[in-house]
Amino acid sequence: MPFHKIIKLPILQYAVNFFIAFAVFMICRVAFVLTNSNFYGDIEMSHYITLFLGGAKYDFAAIFYLSAVCLVMMLIPFKIALNNIYRKIAKYFFIIPVSVGIFANIFDAAFFPFNARRTNFSFFSEFKNEGNLFGIFFNGVIDYWYLALTAAGLIFLLIKLYYNPKVSKADFPGRIYYAITVPLAGVAVYLFLAGIRGSIIIDNDHRPMNMNNANEYIRKSNESAIVLNTPYCILRTMGKKTLEDPQYFSSEEVIKYYNPIHNPQPHDSLNNNNVVILILESFGKEYSGFFNHNQGYTPFLDSLYQEGLTFTSSFATGRKSIDAMPSILAGIPYLTDHFFMGMYSNNKVNSIASLLGQNGYYSAFYHGAPNGSMGFLNFSKLAGFNDYYGMTEYCADPAFNAMDDFDGHWAIWDEEFLQYFAKSMGEIPQPFVTACFTATSHNPFRIPERYKERFKEGPQPITKCIEYTDNAIRLFFNKMKEYPWFKNTLFVITADHTNQNLSPEYTTDRNVFSVPILFYQFGGIKKVSEKLFCQTDITPTILDYLNFNKPYIAFGNSYFNADTAGYVVNYSEPLYQISMGEFFLQFNGDKETGFFIPKDDVFLKNNLIGHYPEQEEKMLNILKAEIQQYHVRMINNDLTIGE
């Protein structure tokens, strides 16, 4: 069949128009950059190419979403799809939604200076009670007339270039038509799924892309807006939780109870110690003999707990790995929304990497799973880490056995990857801040064959993995001690969350968050503290320890800040929780639901609401203020001080 006839096939007609729309979306991206050139003046052309290539994935996905009805109409392998009236109807199902997408892309360029991110579905929640929405829209068109003209011109271009050839059923004999359209329909469905997932591999091991994946291509947080497009952000955040200002307090009153802005004491100079942060997969505190006065499964870590600053009451903020990384490295807790997956995942943040980077620190993040797994690569970019080392980099190092060290399911075995981590730190510039997320103590809880006689099955499948990784950490420290700067390095060891329980006391609403937190430096602080401590306290404590003296934002408190009473906030949906002193309070967003004294009531059976009114009010005010600060700062993209 001649090409001039084949190209008239409905699905190929759609393909032609898809790429016309794709070209127009790319022009929208150019317009976005030009409109906001004052934000992007230092980007060289090679990096623009990287950003635009990343943006191509989001444009593909957005156009697929917008034109899905038209695609379905063109996929139908029946000759009705050749009917000219039918195709004209399909045209409107393509032109109208894609035109709305073009308009959103162009006008979002005007909003970017105010919120420093692409508009998402929360925009409609913010204006849902606005009575003069049409007037606001009309004034926007007048104020930004040049953008209105640009949008109109691009929509006109889309309409003018739309490919809709005249066809007749006689052009495609029955059997030939079906022989061609059915396979093409299969290819189109595959490309649609690949396009909206952002990956040509479609399986359970490759998580569909979301807004956070844009961070893979960026150097600075505001560059994610170049990679993304507005219709994608709106469509992907539809139905997701939209934060609202709970208005518990006035803006003046809220800071009396809680203020995440840290203003450190002035210091003459920074203590340029290296910082190494180990985030251990699923290492709940209950696996440790040190904390439970039993044999436990972590003999090496138990020895370290006695040599550093250790907390008897330390907690995670969430129950997922994706909640731990923002909490530990950037002081962003899990409160209402998973930062990685929510509509605010491209907000600007400051982190231990970006803050110390202001003082000349090199930073790198390590994770032995395939690069991009769990969204860690994306967050590390957003957080300002200079480099990321994953399975790709591990396999490229000739000193290791590449895929022979893969556990067959999840990542490189912890022992080998921690040795790689140690070796890499011997080659990077000082001072540095690094973080490594282990993986072996993750489901399906396997260990290398050579250790199966040494680390046997315990009361839960995870315990043998805990023993194995504890030994891997011992070998890691043995390697680290070979470096002359070992004594000049602060090690922070914690876990992302808890996992399989060994005893009932660790299943309560409070203790299910119990994870170890240790600060260790050879010859440094040696203390077991009873002060309540949380993952979000880690970054402020490190910065205080190093005499960092610039203001920053973190939802946590430094251990060294004597003016701040230790307390812990976490979220066990649908309840917000705060521990302070000997008390534990639960709050559902509207009212207090529980008040307990855990040391006397481990299983939280004796609800004491109303028995300690002053303490309850104090704790409730702090909790409400932190929730309000979190919501408002997320909504307003106000998580940093300066760039």
pLDDT band at 207 (very low <50, low <70, confident <90, very high): low
Residue 61, pLDDT above cutoff 90: yes
pLDDT band at 204 (very low <50, low <70, confident <90, very high): low
pLDDT tens digits along 238-265: 877 778 899 999 999 999 999 999 998 8
Residue 251 lies in a domain: no
Residues 219, 364 share a domain:
no
pLDDT tens digits along 594-642: 999 999 999 999 999 999 999 999 999 999 999 999 999 998 999 998 6
Domain boundary among 203, 236, 269: 236
pLDDT for position 524? 92
pLDDT band at 268 (very low <50, low <70, confident <90, very high): confident
Residues 545, 450 share a domain:
yes
Dihedral Cα 309, 314, 316, 317, nearest 10 deg: -110
Domain boundary among 236, 271, 304: 236
How many whole angstroms separate alpha carbon 334 and alpha carbon 326? 8
pLDDT band at 78 (very low <50, low <70, confident <90, very high): confident
Read off the amino acid at residue 132.
Answer: N
pLDDT band at 577 (very low <50, low <70, confident <90, very high): very high
Residues 276, 192 share a domain:
no
The Cα-based distances of 555 to 170, 247, 326, 336, 540 in angstroms read 69, 19, 10, 14, 9
pLDDT above 90 as % of the chain:
66
pLDDT for position 171? 67
pLDDT for position 81? 79
Residue 1, pLDDT above cutoff 70: no
Residues 106, 70 share a domain:
yes
Judging by beta carbons within 10 Å of its beta carbon (0-12, 13-18, 19+), is residue 340 exposed, middle or buried?
Answer: buried
Task: Let me know: does 106 contact 151? Beta carbons within 8 Å.
Answer: yes
Residue 571 lies in a domain: no
How many whole angstroms separate alpha carbon 442 and alpha carbon 324? 15
DSSP character at residue 381: H
Residues 472, 418 share a domain:
yes
Which run of H or of E encompasses 4? Answer: helix 3-6
Average pLDDT over residues 155-165: 94
Helix (H/G/I), strand (E/B), else coil: 467 = helix
Tokens, residue 37: 């050139």
Residue 626 lies in a domain: no
Average pLDDT, the chain: 90
How many whole angstroms separate alpha carbon 194 and alpha carbon 520? 46
User: How many residues belong to the chain?
Assistant: 643
> What φ, ψ does residue 593 adopt, rounded to 5°?
-115, -15
Residues 216, 300 share a domain:
no
Domain boundary among 494, 528, 563: 563
CA 512 to chain centre: 22
Helix (H/G/I), strand (E/B), else coil: 404 = helix
Average pLDDT over residues 506-510: 92
Residues 489, 414 share a domain:
yes
Cα angle, residue 229 at apex, residues 200 and 37 outer, rounded to 5°: 125
How many domains does the chain divide into? 2
For residue 569, the cross-strand partners are 578
pLDDT for position 76? 82
pLDDT band at 127 (very low <50, low <70, confident <90, very high): low
Residues 162, 311 share a domain:
no
Residues 322, 188 share a domain:
no
Read off the amino acid at residue 489.
Answer: T
User: Residue 282 is part of a domain; what is its CATH number?
Assistant: 3.40.720.10
Under 8 Å CB-to-CB from 157, ≥6 apart: which residues?
A: 24
How many whole angstroms separate alpha carbon 625 and alpha carbon 616? 14
Residue 448 lies in a domain: yes
Residue 605 lies in a domain: no
Residue 131, pLDDT above cutoff 70: no
Residues 545, 435 share a domain:
yes
pLDDT tens digits along 317-339: 988 888 999 999 999 999 877 78
pLDDT tens digits along 86-116: 989 999 999 999 999 999 999 898 888 766 7
Highest mean pLDDT among 122-131, 347-356, 554-563: 347-356
Domain limits at 219?
Answer: 3-236
pLDDT above 70 as % of the chain:
93
pLDDT for position 169? 65
Residues 223, 352 share a domain:
no
Helix (H/G/I), strand (E/B), else coil: 187 = helix
Residue 274 lies in a domain: yes
pLDDT tens digits along 138-153: 666 787 889 999 999 9
Residues 317, 215 share a domain:
no
Task: Let me know: does 467 contact 297? Beta carbons within 8 Å.
Answer: yes
Residue 8 lies in a domain: yes
Residue 242 lies in a domain: no
The Cα-based distances of 365 to 346, 347, 382, 386 in angstroms read 19, 20, 12, 8
Nearest to 296 by CA among 502, 593, 493: 502
